[in-house]
Amino acid sequence: MKTDYKKNKLQILTFIILGIIPLFIDSYYLDNISYFMCWTFISLGLAVIWGMGGILSFGQTAFFGLAGYGFSVISINFLGVAGVSLWSIVLALILTGIFGLIVGYFLFYGGIYDVFIGIVTLAITLVFETFMQQTAGPEYTIGSARLNGFNGMQGMPTIGFENIPFGLVEGVTQYYFILILSIIVLISLYKFKNSKMGLIFLASKEDRDRVSSLGHNVQKVQLIAFTIASLLAGISGILYTNWGGYITPDSMGLVSAALPVVYVAASGKKDFFSVFIGCIFFVWLSQTLAINGKQFAIIVMGLILVISTRFFPDGIILMLKNKLVEKIKWLQS
């Protein structure tokens, strides 16, 4: 997704279609698409650290949940205060970013690599989930906000900005808010990928010792990338909380931690646009299958992960994207 629009006709066409979709569907389906897009940010974050740097983390939902709970606590405590939505988002993301920095520091400067990163990050996620499940008592309150254990938090105010025409971020406004944010994030990630730091991060995936020997601070670059991924997961958590008006410990559970890995692997972890489109599709598929039982959806998504890893290592969606570009000459010119 470089600056040359001629090389990105498919991406531009896709976002034009997404931009006019609200003209043709009712609010029910639009809200569903908004929900699907909420999960794209956590998937894009995983694509940054896994697709670019070979760092597979199962802990992205910890940042997702931390931002969601942080946003909820701040919003409930300062309900009615001018500008609360903006500060709730900013403070929740600052909290998430600091936590990401701390976790990343101990991972990369502590010499934890490869499969052990997945184990440690998964452990952090499950500890966080277990702790939040035990917060059902009245003593687990932060100001006016009650954490509420297994049932999670509810009653958060909808994101709203004063003195701005679109007002509350809900319905059609919510859809366009997420869509515009997606475009900004995608452009930023492609710029990061093509930057000096991004190239160092890409090289560290192949041989971090050799990159270090050339005078580059690999741990610092990995830490920055990991923090970016944690912030993107936090954005997903905030948007998810705003969409449903609730956040529960289950959103950080084992299944929730594994699903972004499926979305990214099956989409094509090396291409952000494919991850964006693939995530929307696979979240839709997962939710559709869950109608017949959550266990059924989990089994199918697991099979998709196995099939994509075995037969389509570059990702199913990326493969289809490349074939589409090959077939349609207009997209190549």
CATH of the domain at 246: 1.10.3470
Answer yes or no: is 256 within a domain.
yes
Q: From 273, 227, 236, 8, select the one nearest 97 (Cα to Cα).
A: 227
Answer yes or no: is 132 within a domain.
yes
> Would you say 181 and 44 are in contact if contact means Cβ atoms under 8 Å apart?
no
Count of domains forming the chain:
1
pLDDT (0 to 100) of residue 2? 45
Answer yes or no: is 306 within a domain.
yes
Token readout for 255 is 């299944």
- Look up residue 64 and give its amino acid: F
- Look up residue 284 and give its amino acid: W
- Residue 266 and residue 314: Cα distance in Å, rounded? 8
- Residue 159 and residue 148: Cα distance in Å, rounded? 22
Q: CA angle 286-120-272, nearest 5°?
A: 45
Structural domain span for residue 233: 9-17+28-328
Q: What count of other Cβ atoms lies within 10 Å of the Cβ of residue 101? A: 15
Answer yes or no: is 1 within a domain.
no
Q: Could you read off the pLDDT tens digit of each residue along the chain, which spans 333 residues?
A: 444 555 678 888 899 999 999 999 888 899 999 999 999 999 999 999 999 999 999 999 999 999 999 998 888 887 655 456 778 888 999 999 999 999 999 999 998 888 899 999 999 999 999 988 888 777 778 877 878 888 888 877 777 665 554 455 667 888 998 999 999 999 999 999 999 999 999 999 888 889 988 888 999 999 999 999 999 999 999 999 988 888 999 888 888 899 999 999 999 999 999 999 999 999 999 999 988 778 888 999 999 999 999 999 999 999 998 888 887 766 665
Query: Which SS3 state, helix, strand or coil, does residue 56 take?
Result: coil
- Residue 324 and residue 80: Cα distance in Å, rounded? 50
* C-alpha atoms less than 13 angstroms from C-alpha of 294 in its C-beta half-sphere: 4
Q: From 276, 267, 333, 266, select the one nearest 303 (Cα to Cα).
A: 266
Output the pTM of the full model.
0.92
- Look up residue 219 and give its amino acid: Q
- Residue 36 and residue 243: Cα distance in Å, rounded? 11
Answer yes or no: is 310 within a domain.
yes
- Residue 287 and residue 32: Cα distance in Å, rounded? 10
pLDDT (0 to 100) of residue 296? 86
pLDDT (0 to 100) of residue 223? 96
Answer yes or no: is 2 within a domain.
no
Answer yes or no: is 23 within a domain.
no
128, containing H or E segment: helix 115-133
In terms of C-beta density within 10 A (0-12 exposed, 13-18 middle, 19 or more buried), how is residue 21 classed?
middle
- Residue 96 and residue 116: Cα distance in Å, rounded? 22
Answer yes or no: is 3 within a domain.
no
> Would you say 239 and 70 are in contact if contact means Cβ atoms under 8 Å apart?
no
